[in-house]
Chains A and B, each alone.
Chain A
């Protein structure tokens, strides 16, 4: 009877030890942060000027910015923005970006804008802040992806 209990106990220990070993070997120790994929066409969903929402005060609906996978970008229906013309883009860190760098093709001028990449109401957004006019005025554009090419 005593031997039977010992056998059962040993079997349980083996199962537990085996399970633990298998569990440890299959799970990564830290989850990998995804690379921020911004390629595609984006439209404006919200605009603030110095923290005040001005989205409904003028027509921002036509503005488009298209980020291509070859790190070029293009702007349609321009409005005051960080840059005035198309060029190339890059993030300061593909996984944990704080800034988006935009370099205009024609002028060669590079502008760095604060970059945020939240999910708002289930939709991925790009939020960029910049001063296209007077340096005291900070504009923040929130973009949502469109299905347009």
Chain B
């Protein structure tokens, strides 16, 4: 009996070791070596991002190269991007990547598109606003990767920058084929974030800072009167006049295509902001209903500030140049 136990244990250990070894050996390590980009981009012009990568494979497998990148939704990158690359499998041959079809889900993420799954696991990268999307491409070529392969690729992503001036941090993600996004093992994929990139020469009224939080934010950034909009006061950014109150109200005016102004400046339950956490308060509403915008009119912009219960204290847009404070501005723009 003791011998049988020893034999079983021996086989058990051997089997376990084999499984462990298989886990260690049978995968392809993916490396994202660098992302090259300009730190300043021009609005409405094409920008190029170069991703240098390589793989080291310890298995034979048939797979595609997958690249996903995080960009502002307003860039509509899925329609304005071209991705080409060269690799050391076929030196000098220019290859291409195509958008992954919406009906194709990542492994173990049935029902989710690649974009939805990427957002689930990687959010909006290092940005502070949500209006970003993951756009995912796969190589048109299906590779026969062999055990021992050590191959590299240089991928060029050419995308059209949107019309708004902004500051934003893009992210780039690569993987080979069918690895699960939920895996904690980062040998299966790599992700790289850019520093804050400045977009200039565009529409300054639509300026958005994705890199850094401010007292105010409005989400989502692309809006019409029939959207549900969230106005946020982020009081922890810096000391401010509203530090000593927990009753914070939104004071706002909507300006429409009919040259009318719809003001909601009362301080009531309707305008009182809900606490989210710490000193962050938000108010979410259907814009047309909140401002009472009739059919046939569209909101062009909303001007707003944050105030206390009696209206004696407020937080507005300040300027380093010393100009008087103004109301914050949110353009209702949808493109």
Q: Does A136 contact B (CB under 8 A)?
A: yes
| Stretch among A21-29, A37-45, A87-95, A127-135 lining the B interface | A127-135
Q: Apart from A54-B284, A133-B228, A139-B228, list 19 A-B contacts with CB within 8 A.
A: A47-B228, A49-B220, A49-B228, A51-B119, A51-B120, A52-B130, A54-B228, A54-B230, A57-B274, A80-B227, A80-B286, A116-B111, A133-B223, A134-B220, A134-B223, A135-B334, A136-B73, A137-B222, A137-B223
Is B247's CB within 8 Å of the partner chain A? no
- Least CB separation from A57: chain B residue: B284
**How far, in angstroms, from A116 to B112 measured CA to CA in the complex?**
12
Asked if A58 lies at the interface with its beta carbon under 8 angstroms from chain B, I say: yes
**Per-position binary interface string of chain B over residues 215-234, scored 1 when its CB falls under 8 Å from any chain A CB and 0 otherwise:** 00000101111111010000
Are A57 and B282 CB-contacts (below 8 A) given A51-B116, A136-B73? yes
Give the interface of B toward A (CB within 8 A).
Answer: 73-74, 76, 111, 116, 119-120, 130-131, 220, 222-228, 230, 274, 282, 284-287, 334
Within 8 A of B (CB), among A107-147: 116, 132-137, 139
Q: Could you list 29 A-B pairs, sorted by A, with CB under 8 Å?
A: A49-B228, A50-B73, A51-B119, A52-B130, A57-B230, A57-B274, A57-B282, A58-B285, A79-B228, A79-B286, A80-B226, A80-B227, A116-B111, A133-B223, A133-B225, A133-B226, A133-B227, A133-B228, A134-B222, A134-B223, A134-B224, A134-B334, A135-B334, A136-B73, A136-B220, A137-B220, A137-B222, A137-B227, A139-B228
Main secondary structure of the interface of B (DSSP, over half): mixed
CB-contact partner of A136 in B222, B226, B285, under 8 A? B222
- Please, how many angstroms separate the alpha-carbon atoms of A65 and B39 in the complex? 49
> Smallest distance from the beta carbon of A110 to chain B beta carbons, Å?
18
B-chain residues with CB within 8 Å of residue A47 when the two chains form the complex = 228
Closest 5 CB pairs of A and B: A133-B227, A134-B334, A57-B284, A133-B226, A133-B224
Shortest C-beta distance, B179 to chain A (Å), equals: 22
Chain A residues contacting B282 (CB-CB under 8 Å) are 57
* Chain A stretch 48-83: residues in CB contact (< 8 A) with chain B: 49-52, 54, 57-58, 79-80
Size of interface on A: residues with Cβ below 8 Å to B: 18
Q: How far is the CB of B57 from chain A (nearest CB, A)?
A: 34
Provide the bound-state CA to CA distance between A135 and B74, in Å.
Answer: 11
- Give complex CA distance A135, B131 in Å: 13
Distance in Å: Cβ of A18 to nearest Cβ of chain B: 43
Q: How many angstroms from the CA of A112 to the CA of B282 in the assembled complex? A: 32
Residues of A within 8 A of B225 (CB): 133
Q: Shortest CB–CB separation between residue B132 and chain A, in angstroms? A: 9
Contact present for A136 and B130 (CB under 8 Å): no
- Which of chain B's residues have a CB closer than 8 A to the CB of A137? 220, 222-223, 227
**A132 to chain B: which residues have CB within 8 Å?**
226-227
Q: Which residues of B contact A80 (CB under 8 A)?
A: 226-228, 286
The docked-state distance in angstroms from the alpha carbon of A37 to that of B228 is: 30
B220's nearest neighbour on chain A, judged by CB, is A137
By a CB distance below 8 angstroms, the chain A residues around B74 are 136
In angstroms, Cα B222 to Cα A71, docked, is: 34
- Kindly report which residue of chain A lies nearest to residue B276, judged by CB atoms: A57
**Alpha-carbon distance between A80 and B284 when the two chains are bound, in angstroms:** 13
Residue on A nearest B73 in the bound complex, by CB? A136
**Which residue of chain B is the closest to A60 with respect to CB atoms?**
B228
Most B CB contacts (10 A, CB to CB) among A51, A80, A133 go to: A133
Residues of B within 8 A of A50 (CB): 73, 130-131, 220
Give chain B residues whose Cβ lies under 8 Å from the Cβ of A57: 230, 274, 282, 284
Q: Report which residue of B119, B220, B228 has the largest number of chain A beta carbons within 10 angstroms of its beta carbon.
A: B228
* Alpha-carbon distance between A47 and B131 when the two chains are bound, in angstroms: 17
What is the chain B residue whose CB lies nearest that of A51? B119
Return chain B residues, CB-CB under 8 Å to A139: 228
Partner of B334, one of A51, A54, A58, A133: A133
The answer to whether B228 touches A58, judged by C-beta atoms less than 8 angstroms apart, is yes
Q: For B287, what are the chain A residues with a Cβ–Cβ distance below 8 Å?
A: 133
Closest to A49 in B: B228
Collect the chain A residues with CB atoms within 8 Å of residue B226's CB: 80, 132-133
Query: Which chain B residues lie closer than 8 Å to A49 at the CB level?
Result: 220, 228
Complex CA–CA separation, A134 to B227 (angstroms):
7
